[in-house]
Amino acid sequence: MRLVFLTFFLQYSYAFKYLIISPIYSYSHVKFMSNIADTLADHGHEVVVFQQQIVEALRDKKVIKNPDIKIINYEANTAGKEFYRNRPKSSVTKYWTTNQAANPSAADQFAEAMSKDLEHMCLQVFEDKSLHTMLKSEHFDVLLAEPFDPCGLYLGDYLKIPSTIVAMASSRIDPVQWALGQPSGLNFIPGPDSKYGEESGVWDRINNVWMFFMRTRMFRAVYWNLLDKLRFKTGLEIRNIDEIVAESAYLFYNSNPYLDFPFPSLTKCVPIGGFSMNTTNWKSENLPENLKNILQKRPNTVFISFGSVIRSADMPQEYKNAIIEVTKLMSDVTFIWKYEDEKDEEMRGNIPENVHLMKWLPQPALLADSRVSLFITHGGLGSIMEVAYSGKPAIVIPLFFDQPMNGEMLRRHGGAEVYSKFELSNAKKLKKVIQNMIQNPKYLANAKKLSNLLQKQPINPIERLVKHAEFAAEFKKLPELDPYSRHLNFFQFFFLDIVATLLILFMLSALFVYWITYVICSVRSKSKME
């Protein structure tokens, strides 16, 4: 009995208190931050999750599982609710047919729309003095917040919470890593629409640089638009995100070194990708009876899902028609398609009997089922992680943002192919790719090899997350990990000042040699004339 009490006492005597700021704005980001909260609470720490209610449609999604977590649902005021109720709905359907990443006007439109979405709630949070008093009274050890919505980082810094961990649901956000002094990998890490490895050429590297500037411009516009508005409206001294990120204890990013592209990194950049992947639970989950029956019908089943942001129901009709044509040509294969519009009678009346349209599907459990042969996905990082851990072959059809890079990241392991969304209307080509991936055993073998690798990696991502979070709580800011590289300007960081210096020296040397040669030739010419 004494031993049990001692164990309990030791476990909780070292518990820390974490504030996790998770705006209800994007489901994948909410899920990521909620999983971090659950992980820390499961390891005996006190966790408070502060959720700004921005997107009404996400309100009812209960993602946090640990009952000991304290959740603060922060509601918009009357003006904020009116704004969110009447704000123009940002249409993402255009991303089915446009290249958002390379289009400056599309990037600017996104930055402007996102800035306006975040502005009302963030301004309310900073003007709410009672909220500040309440949060300060909690005496948190560590703040965890995402740069996707910088308001959380601004708030934590303003409240002077002793330690900050920047948490990213994506594998990389360029301006954030630039602020840290993270080494650049633009010469070999592919940007959207670039190839990786031996297939990469000079135009791919040019595209990498162009995409770097585009993404940096887009996110910095959001950061600075919001900061300028806050400073103007409140008159408060609020530091910029570069300073906050640079002085943070760690950057947690949703990357796994055994899945992602190998690249140089800083000690304070901690990859935690895969910490929420639990294949044992996926396999033990009891699928609904209708799905069990569907999976029994044919030897091969293809699962199609384009995520929760861009709907299958909104894809161009010619894309839908091509996919339906493929399913008709492959009548010996079952297709389970996540299709959101239950009232689309025309679509449902046009599909063959081997196609099953469903509004919602238990994706991890379905991927873990041995009867699923192939996953066709948009390439969101959550889906990439799930299919990698499940050991399933995949066709990645990237739609926007980091999805093209995620597709290349998975393809390099040999269990996936990347297919252009602009060729979705080509039924013959799509059928050929699907058929090849089902029939060629190398894809399944490579996918299973990657799954085995991820599940047996030497350091468990959960352990990496928890130990670094505890270390940050104990030692706070960790200036020991702050690289001087972040103080270098663009020319110094990329050695352009050295190149310029050498070029000038070369030109001066060339001029000097030319002058000496000219003088010698002139002297000889004069001596000959005499």
Nearest to 433 by CA among 417, 449, 420: 417
Asked if the model's pLDDT at residue 62 lies above 80, the reply is: no
Model confidence at 488, in pLDDT bands (50, 70, 90)? confident
Asked if the model's pLDDT at residue 187 lies above 70, the reply is: yes
Model confidence at 5, in pLDDT bands (50, 70, 90)? very low
The answer to whether residue 306 is domain-embedded is yes
Residue 101: predicted pLDDT: 59
Residue 253: predicted pLDDT: 93
Give percent of the chain above pLDDT 70: 94
Residue 302: predicted pLDDT: 96
Model confidence at 171, in pLDDT bands (50, 70, 90)? confident
The answer to whether residue 3 is domain-embedded is no
Asked if the model's pLDDT at residue 232 lies above 60, the reply is: yes
pLDDT tens per residue, range 491-530 = 887 788 999 999 999 999 999 999 999 888 887 776 766 6
Residue 177: predicted pLDDT: 84
Asked if the model's pLDDT at residue 114 lies above 70, the reply is: yes
Domain boundary among 436, 455, 474: 455
Asked if the model's pLDDT at residue 286 lies above 80, the reply is: yes
pLDDT tens per residue, range 123-158 = 999 999 999 999 999 999 999 999 989 999 999 999
| DSSP-based helix, strand, coil % in the chain, nearest 5 | 55, 10, 35
The verdict on 396 and 501 lying in the same domain is: no
The verdict on 421 and 510 lying in the same domain is: no
The verdict on 174 and 266 lying in the same domain is: yes
Asked if the model's pLDDT at residue 427 lies above 90, the reply is: yes
Please tell me the least confidently modeled range out of 51-60, 248-257, 395-404.
51-60
**Residues spanned by the domain of 513:** 495-529
Residue 8: predicted pLDDT: 44
Model confidence at 7, in pLDDT bands (50, 70, 90)? very low
The verdict on 270 and 286 lying in the same domain is: no
The answer to whether residue 431 is domain-embedded is yes
The answer to whether residue 4 is domain-embedded is no
In the three-class reduction of DSSP (H, G, I as helix; E, B as strand; rest coil), residue 346 is classed as helix
Asked if the model's pLDDT at residue 48 lies above 60, the reply is: yes
The answer to whether residue 300 is domain-embedded is yes
Asked if 142 and 250 touch (Cβ cutoff 8 Å), the reply is: no
Q: Which CATH number goes with the domain that contains 53? A: 3.40.50.2000
The answer to whether residue 2 is domain-embedded is no
Please tell me the least confidently modeled range out of 2-6, 342-346, 366-370, 427-431.
2-6
The verdict on 444 and 316 lying in the same domain is: yes
> How far apart, in Å, are the Cα atoms of 170 and each of 167, 273, 389, 402, 507?
9, 9, 17, 8, 45
The answer to whether residue 489 is domain-embedded is no
The verdict on 92 and 151 lying in the same domain is: yes
Asked if 15 and 45 touch (Cβ cutoff 8 Å), the reply is: yes
Asked if the model's pLDDT at residue 90 lies above 70, the reply is: no
The verdict on 449 and 466 lying in the same domain is: no
The verdict on 212 and 101 lying in the same domain is: yes
The verdict on 271 and 385 lying in the same domain is: no
The answer to whether residue 157 is domain-embedded is yes
**What are the beta bridge partners of residue 301?**
334, 372
Asked if 144 and 251 touch (Cβ cutoff 8 Å), the reply is: no
Angle (nearest 5°) at CA 463 between 393 and 29:
60
Of the two residues 192 and 227, the one the predictor is more confident about is: 227
The verdict on 448 and 480 lying in the same domain is: no
Domain boundary among 440, 455, 470: 455
Of the two residues 472 and 78, the one the predictor is more confident about is: 472
Asked if the model's pLDDT at residue 36 lies above 70, the reply is: yes
pLDDT tens per residue, range 351-360 = 899 999 998 8
Nearest to 142 by CA among 58, 233, 42, 40: 40
Best-predicted range by mean pLDDT among 56-65, 112-121, 408-417, 518-527?
408-417
Question: How many distinct structural domains can be found in the chain?
Answer: 3
Residue 147: predicted pLDDT: 92
Residue 10: predicted pLDDT: 45
Using CA atoms, how far apart are residues 24 and 152, in angstroms rounded to an integer?
12
The verdict on 447 and 501 lying in the same domain is: no
The verdict on 174 and 69 lying in the same domain is: yes
Asked if the model's pLDDT at residue 231 lies above 80, the reply is: yes
Residue 166: predicted pLDDT: 96
